[in-house]
Amino acid sequence: MESSPSIELRGVDKEYRRDEFVVPVLQGLDLSVAEGEYLALMGPSGSGKTTLLNLVAGLDTATRGEVLVHGQNLGRLSEAEITRWRAHNVGFIFQTYNLIPVLTAFENVELPLLLTHLSRRKRRENVMTALRVVGLEGREHHSPRQLSGGQEQRVAIARAIVTDPYLLVADEPTGDLDRVTAGEILELLEQLNREFQKTIVMVTHDPLAARRASRVLHLDKGRLVDDVINETSISAAS
């Protein structure tokens, strides 16, 4: 069955300006990502991977062209609208977890829900569900420094999914982890894609990580140079 596009880029350019200099970073990008696809972005350092991730996550805007996510044209939203859109639609996972050290695992996961109108009881229920999904039941009172790197990343993933977002973006999610722990985190991302139908866009330098995705895009100097469907992986889009 053909799914509707989840992410569409039409003629996207992205430039940064430094004083009078214009730095072109993405050039003429056209892309269509199906709902439930698990996409890996690869390419040399500076090729524009994080820039592209930021555009589809609504953290930055294209200089030219259109970025549509789940039918929403992000370039047409005001600053306030895009902040609200992000809070409801996107979960963020970073290489360095970005947890607040003075908060417990529970409190870290609860953070995005404090921006919603959910009751305390409902927030608690959702946080406990997210912690259970990532396999951290019973660790809710631990602070980040009482957890291993892999467990910290699980807390960060629980925080990313607690609002039940449509899209998960992950920037080098296994970059700080050993191979075994990295494998476990990749397993979890696959589960979120397969069982919970999350569309995932992941930046990675690791070919082993990219192999778990359903599709791998290669960027070079801001252009799409390769687009490979991973026959061996089973994604929610299959």
Ligand X SMILES: Nc1ncnc2c1ncn2[C@@H]1O[C@H](COP(=O)(O)OP(=O)(O)OP(=O)(O)O)[C@@H](O)[C@H]1O
The residues binding ligand X (CB under 6 A) are 16, 18, 23, 25, 43, 45-51
Smallest gap from residue 6 Cβ to ligand X (A) = 21
Q: Is the CB of 134 or the CB of 182 nearer to ligand X?
A: 182
**Two tokens at 56?**
């589809």
Q: How many CB atoms lie within 10 A of CB 96?
A: 13
Smallest gap from residue 59 Cβ to ligand X (A) = 11
Q: Is the CB of 23 or the CB of 208 nearer to ligand X?
A: 23
Q: Is the CB of 31 or the CB of 111 nearer to ligand X?
A: 31
Q: Which residues contact 197 (CB under 8 A, 6 or more apart)?
A: 35, 36, 236
Smallest gap from residue 25 Cβ to ligand X (A) = 4
Whole-angstrom CA distances from 136 to 10, 20, 89, 122, 198 are: 40, 50, 23, 19, 20
Phi, psi of 231 (to 5 degrees): -65, -30
Phi, psi of 233 (to 5 degrees): -95, 150
**Two tokens at 99?**
């947890």
What value does the CA radius of gyration of the chain take, rounded to a whole number of Å?
A: 18
Smallest gap from residue 60 Cβ to ligand X (A) = 8
> What count of residues does the chain have?
238
Q: Is the CB of 49 or the CB of 198 nearer to ligand X?
A: 49
Q: Is the CB of 23 or the CB of 100 nearer to ligand X?
A: 23
Smallest gap from residue 47 Cβ to ligand X (A) = 4
Smallest gap from residue 149 Cβ to ligand X (A) = 20
Phi, psi of 160 (to 5 degrees): -70, -30
Check: CB of residue 136 under 8 Å from CB of residue 155.
yes
- How far is Cα 155 from Cα 121, in angstroms, rounded to an integer? 20
Q: Is the CB of 48 or the CB of 173 nearer to ligand X?
A: 48
- How far is Cα 189 from Cα 173, in angstroms, rounded to an integer? 10
Check: CB of residue 140 under 8 Å from CB of residue 127.
yes
